Amino acid sequence: GRRLYLPEIHSKNGQRRQAAERAAINAPMQGTAADIIKKAMIKVHDWLETTDFDAKMIMQVHDELVFEVAEDQVDDLVKEVKERMESAAELKVPLIVDAGVGENWDEAH
């Protein structure tokens, strides 16, 4: 139901027209990815509310969720979060989630 207005798609200026064409191609993919991460966030949040994990979802960065979690629970949390994120959308291709762990966001990469 999203609308993307691209008046430049009919531009006589080749650069402007090509930019609009790229936007037209990218918008459905980026919008779908945004919807999937939002669904994953809701699934993970709702699950976290019902557990005894010493963990908190603190941030979303593009297609990533960032958590603070007790060190002794990291492996279990990663397993549970991956399961929920990978099942956030039913696609014809597998939805694969990678996880990184570190003292900060940079180290986790």
At 5-50, the pLDDT tens digits run: 999 999 999 999 999 999 999 999 999 999 999 999 999 999 999 9
pLDDT of residue 87: 96
Q: pLDDT class for 70, splitting at 50, 70, 90?
A: very high
For residue 2, the model assigns a pLDDT of 82
26 and 50 in contact (C-beta within 8 Å)?
no
DSSP class of 71: G
Summarize the confidence of residues 72-84 as an average pLDDT: 97
pTM for the predicted model, two decimal places = 0.82
Closest CA to 39 of 89, 1, 78, 77: 89
Contact partners, residue 53, CB within 8 Å, separation at least 6: 69, 70, 73, 76, 77, 80
- What percentage of residues in the chain have a pLDDT greater than 70? 100
Separation of alpha carbons 40 and 87, rounded Å: 8
pLDDT band for position 82 (cuts 50, 70, 90): very high
Residue from 90, 28, 33 nearest 61 by CA:
33
Residue pair 69/53 in contact (Cβ under 8 Å)? The answer is yes
Average pLDDT across the chain, whole number = 95
Cα separation, 12 vs 64, in Å, equals 39
